[in-house]
Amino acid sequence: MSLERYFEVRRVAGKAVYVVDDHHKALAAWSLLRRGLDAPPYLLTIDHHTDTDDAFAGHASPTAFDNPSIDEQALAAELLASVDWRSDASLADAIEKLKHDEHIHTATRSGVLAPSFSVQLSDSCGYGEPNEQGLYVVPFKCAIGCSKSVYDDECAIHHAVEITEARYLDDQLSRLGEITQRLGFRNIEQMHYILDIDLDAFHPMEAANPDDATTFHRLIRGALAISIATEAEWVEEVWEDDANHPSVDRLLATVLEHIEVAMV
């Protein structure tokens, strides 16, 4: 069973870009990339969510509910242990059983990816201490320069607009650097990484058109490849600009244009 049915691959100014509708299908593209490398690449993801749920939990839970003789945790662990990134059939079976937000844990625990690092808008605390899962979430405070003591709805709007601004990404990369230093790793930009972008990270169109895209473009250039999840339902869910209805096609075209400009 060919894995190519899970993604569309494009070449943008020489950069391989893998586009998926549901984020967990990126596991197929990441695995094919892995096969051409001596060691698993790291993942740097820009997303609204952390996407760090346990692998196969969404499949194991209802299965165990329907059949009380099945141990939910044991089933999830068994499914994860059976994932073989060298086998198309194994990966296709895994993708069909994965639910939202379980793909990164699956990839880091099955040898597809080295540790992953999430720049995201959902978890202000993050988690960056060494862990066996290989999942690290970069914390945030608010929009750069905000001095409010309480993070409220207004903060969330201002914060989301900055997701690809150079000053914001530089701050996030600095925080990420603190994590990699604790882990004894080099800076993420000195390692082989896949840049992963979920379009639900862009709440208004303005967020996809930063005033200063230099850091975003640098991350694009430095990536081995880029994966993009369109996630139409979540783009609709988190959209904050009532004057401009969310268009996944428009967002995707904007990100692809950034890639083209960055690679010139």
**DSSP conformational letter for 186:** P
Q: What is the pLDDT along the chain (264 residues), one digit of tens a residue?
A: 689 999 999 999 999 999 999 999 999 999 999 999 999 999 999 999 999 999 999 998 888 788 888 889 999 999 999 999 999 999 999 999 999 899 999 999 999 999 999 999 999 999 999 898 999 999 998 888 887 878 887 888 888 999 999 999 999 999 999 999 999 999 999 999 999 999 999 999 999 999 999 999 999 999 999 999 999 999 999 998 888 887 899 999 999 999 999 999
- Report the alpha-carbon distance of residue 244 to residue 103 in Å, rounded: 31
- Report the alpha-carbon distance of residue 67 to residue 57 in Å, rounded: 15
**Both tokens assigned to 27:** 């596991």
Query: In which order are the strands placed within the sheet that holds 135-138?
Result: 8-12, 15-20, 225-229, 193-198, 42-47, 116-120, 135-138
What is residue 150's predicted lDDT score, i.e. its pLDDT? 82
- Report the alpha-carbon distance of residue 33 to residue 172 in Å, rounded: 26
**Both tokens assigned to 184:** 């004894």
- Contact predicate 194/26, CB 8 Å: no
Contacts of 63 (CB under 8 A, 6+ apart): 70, 72, 75
Query: What are the residue boundaries of the structural domains of the chain, listed by start?
Result: 3-53+103-262
Collapsing DSSP states into helix, strand and coil, what is residue 26? helix
**Both tokens assigned to 30:** 């990441």
